[in-house]
Amino acid sequence: MNQVCLLHIMNKKVQEKKKAIEMRKKGCSYKDILQEVDVAKSTLSNWLKNFPLTDDEKSVLKKRRDANISWGRIRAASVLRNNRLKREQKELCIAKDIFELHRNDPFFTTGIALYWAEGGKRSGDFRFTNSDEDMIYLMVLWINKYLNVPKEEIKCRLYLHAPYVHENLEQYWSSKIGISLHNFGKSIHKPPGLGIKKRPNYKGCLVLRLRGVYLLWRMKFFKELLVASLKEKI
């Protein structure tokens, strides 16, 4: 390296250091300075070790950081909201196509009505709860036929009163609705209460669950389409 090049590099470093110090004196953060001065952060730290910020300057920087964080959160929330709206719109289109295909199918409309009455609306996913084994079995068939969800993806959970805990009712439900015991979560046992007597036909209450909020949206759209269709006929 010749002397001219060396002097040029040294002069450039001197100018960069001078600029960094001037920016620091104006209350700029390391991040601000590094955007203007192309040096390593360790080098910058060494240059500025004798130029600490005042309390007022630190306060200003903190407010800026907090404002940037808040704005970042607002932007992130906006992106999430827009993505959600796009997904909801997509599910609405899918729901309309499925509804038009099966609107005259009694089993299809019955399933929508059953979910409207017994299904979860605010759980964040698809949940259908009932103590009637025939109704649960029909809903399993409905899920498979109209939501195209195989039995292997349907999760179950049994709610039982304490006196029935040891009666192996999970096996009973599994055989009745055709879903493997592997798909059953840990049963919820309700504590014993006053006046609870054992009933010979009691089998607990079963919850069917499908992961994915989009299926909950689809059920919501099915219900709205069914209501609109019925109103047209009244």
The parent domain of residue 141 ranges over: 105-233
* pLDDT of amino acid 1: 52
Same domain, 19 and 132: no
Same domain, 34 and 122: no
90 part of a folded domain: no
Residue 65: inside a domain: no
Residues 149 and 227 in one domain: yes
Question: 46 and 129 share a domain?
Answer: no
Q: Please identify, among 52, 70, 91, the residue that sits at the C-terminal boundary of a domain.
A: 52
Last residue of a domain, one of 29, 52, 75: 52
Q: What is the CATH number of the domain that holds 164?
A: 3.30.1330
Domain assignment present for residue 68? The answer is no
Based on the fold, state whether residues 125 and 211 are members of the same structural domain: yes
Whether residue 114 sits in one domain with residue 198: yes
98 within domain boundaries? no
Tens digit of pLDDT at every position of the chain (234 positions): 556 565 556 667 777 788 877 777 777 777 887 888 777 888 878 877 777 777 777 777 777 777 766 556 656 666 667 777 888 889 899 999 999 999 999 999 999 999 999 999 877 889 999 999 999 999 999 999 999 999 999 999 998 876 666 668 889 999 999 999 999 998 887 776 655 566 667 788 899 999 888 899 999 999 999 999 999 887
In a domain, 194, yes or no: yes
**Long-range contacts for 51-54 (Cβ within 8 Å, ≥24 apart)?**
51/21, 51/24, 51/25, 53/24, 53/27, 54/27
Tell me, yes or no, if the pTM score tops 0.85.
no
Number of domains in the chain: 2
With beta carbons less than 8 A apart as the criterion, state whether 148 and 220 touch: no
Number of Cβ atoms within 10 Å of the Cβ of 209: 18
